Structure 1
Amino acid sequence: MTVLERGWLSANGILFAGPDAALVDTGYCTHADQTLALVRATLGPQPLARILNTHLHSDHCGGNAALQAAWPRVHTAVAPGQADLVRRWDAQALGYVATGQRCPRFRLDGVLAPGTQVQLGGRPWQIHAAPGHDPHAVLLFEPEARLLISADALWEKGFGVVFPELDGEDAFSEVGATLELIERLAPATVIPGHGPVFRDVAGALAAARARLQAFMQSPERHARHAAKVLLKFKLLEWQRIDEAGLLVWVAATPYMDRLRARHQPQATAADWVAGLVQELVAVGAARREAGLLHNG
């Protein structure tokens, strides 16, 4: 097993070599060439046999299409909740339109059904439902070595944006339930969707629960955090953008307009975005230069 730790625009990939080589999560589409190069460098002449996606956010499955083009016989399996949407490719329902992100269409061959197992690296990995960050997400757990592939349900210092909350659905409780599941599984090592592999699971759970409590006490704080995450994601993709281009993207991105209308309706889009940008610049996540906003 090789963990491919990626930058924040792409999720980490977990690559299992052997006669039935498999890759868990494939990164964002703009890094598809890098994904292919990393997989080929690790596998050599061996073909990639399987792709598994923990969930279908664009930074986790955006490389699927490129990998399928490189290895046309590769078997691709996703969490079952959105399988029908992939089969008919409904980009709106899959969330790519709402987030203003891209994901090339890919083929679906099977599902990762919670309560079953999948063979990876010659060992059986349990598949567990992990709603919260995404209602359809799954975790993969290997009980002998107590290895957990947590995707965006648990990072070393938090977890992913709780996207159902942006749609007005109550999902903070599901985040808490997934954290309880992880605690019951008692992993010794966690391979997160973003950031380094870590072993202080108790510390990560404590940090995640503190973050969750803060968001539950102030949904507006979570909403503003989500808006900055979406903006930063696009800035990572663009690397630089002028103010007019940024406002065009905000106007065309339903989540961004929805967040402003729900949590700061008195502000114009321009003023609201200016505040978000100022906060990103203040923490070094972005910088202004020559009239453009640059990735920090």
Structure 2
Amino acid sequence: MTLTPPALPPEITVFERGWLSANNILFDGPGGAALIDSGYCTHAAQTVALVAASLQGRPLALLANTHLHSDHCGGNAALQQRWPQLRTLIPPGQLQHVRQWDPVALSYVPTGQECPPFRADGVLQPGQSIALGGREWSIHAAPGHDPHAVLLFEPQARLLISGDALWENGFGVVFPEIEGEGAFAEVGATLDVIEQLAPVTVIPGHGSVFGDVPAALQRARARLAAFVAEPLKHARYAAKVLLKYKLLEWQSLPLEQALDWLDGTPYFGALHQRYFAGRSAREWAAALVDELVASGAARLEDGQLTNV
């Protein structure tokens, strides 16, 4: 049975987006309006419109990112352009990469994704707190999916903003594993932190707000155990997610162009070298497309690959 999560406090509005863009969480109240995560760049105009319509002429004062994957911060630049006085906070560890704008270190080149350069004014420091909508939210490190990610927790209502550390049915691709850096243990440690915080309601980076957190944690731990037991399963999952994500952006394109993109994307090359070097990169890329089509996540007709 799926439990209906408790209603969110009135100062919080969640814009649940499709999987190309992370959810946006808008706070309004004392201290000014604040937004957590800004979606992907191709949806940036829509993100600005959603926030502006909700604020009805009031300015957006603060923007913060749970982590700096392109689907969580791709709208930062557009929001900063719309509200020039906007203060922007990011997780620690990548401040200099943002200020020097290093798209390789920030993962945008390795993933083959886009993110317009934006400004960062400071960091969300784990162990400290941040005022959002008149409440104090504690900041917690959440490595695993991304080594620099953070969680935000409000202890009175026991609300958690989890980013991609916990969804109702799993968690995000463990990107350090693609680079050959073991991070499955960090995923488990972050799930332990969430269990210790004991939230009643979770606002995830993707998908609907949910309750029944113990059940979600159980599903996440089962998924993690499967990846630990068979890292190849995670590698195949990661490759398909990266391709499906790009297909969400493209919607439709010739198959050969999709295969060319795979050939030129560093993370695909890393996965191929580490796990699938027994076949050519092109053969492996074609097999990924076939798997997406077989699962119903894409359609291939007359050489045209289309998102489903």
The TM tier, using the shorter chain, reads over 0.9
* Alignment-derived partner of residue 239 in structure 2: 227
User: Residues of 2 paired with 1:288 and 1:261: CA distance?
Assistant: 27
Once the two structures are TM-superposed, the CA of residue 52 in structure 1 deviates from its matched residue by: 0.2
Deviation digits for residues 46-78 of structure 1, max 9, x if unmatched?
A: 011010000000000000000000000000000
For the pair 1:156 / 2:168, whether they are aligned, the reply is: yes
C-alpha RMSD of the superposition:
0.8
In structure 2, runs of 5+ residues without a counterpart are 1-11
TM-score with structure 2 setting the length: 0.95
Q: How does 1:129-148 map to 2 (within 5 A)?
A: 129-148=141-160
* Alignment-derived partner of residue 17 in structure 1: 28
Once the two structures are TM-superposed, the CA of residue 289 in structure 1 deviates from its matched residue by: 2.4
State the identity %.
66
Runs ≥4 residues deviating over 2 A: none
For the pair 1:121 / 2:133, whether they are aligned, the reply is: yes
User: Residues of 1 paired with 2:99 and 2:41: CA distance?
Assistant: 19
Kindly provide the amino acid, as one letter, of the partner of residue 43 in structure 2. H
* Alignment-derived partner of residue 270 in structure 1: 282
* Alignment-derived partner of residue 77 in structure 1: 89
Once the two structures are TM-superposed, the CA of residue 278 in structure 1 deviates from its matched residue by: 1.3
3-state SS of 1:113 partner: coil
In structure 1, runs of 5+ residues without a counterpart are none
* Alignment-derived partner of residue 182 in structure 1: 194
3-state SS of 1:3 partner: strand
* Alignment-derived partner of residue 8 in structure 1: 19
3-state SS of 2:93 partner: helix
User: Residues of 2 paired with 1:257 and 1:80: CA distance?
Assistant: 28
Once the two structures are TM-superposed, the CA of residue 242 in structure 1 deviates from its matched residue by: 1.2
User: Residues of 2 paired with 1:247 and 1:262: CA distance?
Assistant: 19
* Alignment-derived partner of residue 93 in structure 1: 105
Kindly provide the amino acid, as one letter, of the partner of residue 224 in structure 2. L
Kindly provide the amino acid, as one letter, of the partner of residue 134 in structure 2. G
Kindly provide the amino acid, as one letter, of the partner of residue 119 in structure 1. A
User: Residues of 2 paired with 1:236 and 1:269: CA distance?
Assistant: 22
3-state SS of 1:206 partner: helix
3-state SS of 1:85 partner: helix
* Alignment-derived partner of residue 79 in structure 2: 67
Once the two structures are TM-superposed, the CA of residue 257 in structure 1 deviates from its matched residue by: 1.1
Kindly provide the amino acid, as one letter, of the partner of residue 77 in structure 1. L
Once the two structures are TM-superposed, the CA of residue 148 in structure 1 deviates from its matched residue by: 0.1
Q: How does 1:103-122 map to 2 (within 5 A)?
A: 103-122=115-134
Once the two structures are TM-superposed, the CA of residue 219 in structure 1 deviates from its matched residue by: 0.6
239, 248, 258: which one aligns with 1:246: 258
Kindly provide the amino acid, as one letter, of the partner of residue 250 in structure 2. W
User: Residues of 1 paired with 2:113 and 2:295: CA distance?
Assistant: 24
* Alignment-derived partner of residue 165 in structure 1: 177
* Alignment-derived partner of residue 209 in structure 1: 221
Q: Say how many residue pairs are matched.
A: 296
User: Residues of 2 paired with 1:288 and 1:48: CA distance?
Assistant: 43
Deviation digits for residues 131-175 of structure 1, max 9, x if unmatched?
A: 000000000000000000000000000000000011111100000
User: Residues of 2 paired with 1:25 and 1:101: CA distance?
Assistant: 17
Indicate if the aligned counterparts of 2:104 and 2:110 stay in contact, CA closer than 8 A: yes
User: Residues of 1 paired with 2:243 and 2:36: CA distance?
Assistant: 26
TM-score with structure 1 setting the length: 0.99
Deviates more, 1:278-287 or 1:134-143: 278-287
Kindly provide the amino acid, as one letter, of the partner of residue 222 in structure 1. H
* Alignment-derived partner of residue 3 in structure 2: none
* Alignment-derived partner of residue 44 in structure 2: 32
Kindly provide the amino acid, as one letter, of the partner of residue 6 in structure 1. R
Deviation digits for residues 119-142 of structure 1, max 9, x if unmatched?
A: 001000000000000000000000
Once the two structures are TM-superposed, the CA of residue 274 in structure 1 deviates from its matched residue by: 1.5
Deviation digits for residues 224-282 of structure 1, max 9, x if unmatched?
A: 10000000011000101212211221121100011111111121122111211111112
User: Residues of 2 paired with 1:257 and 1:135: CA distance?
Assistant: 21
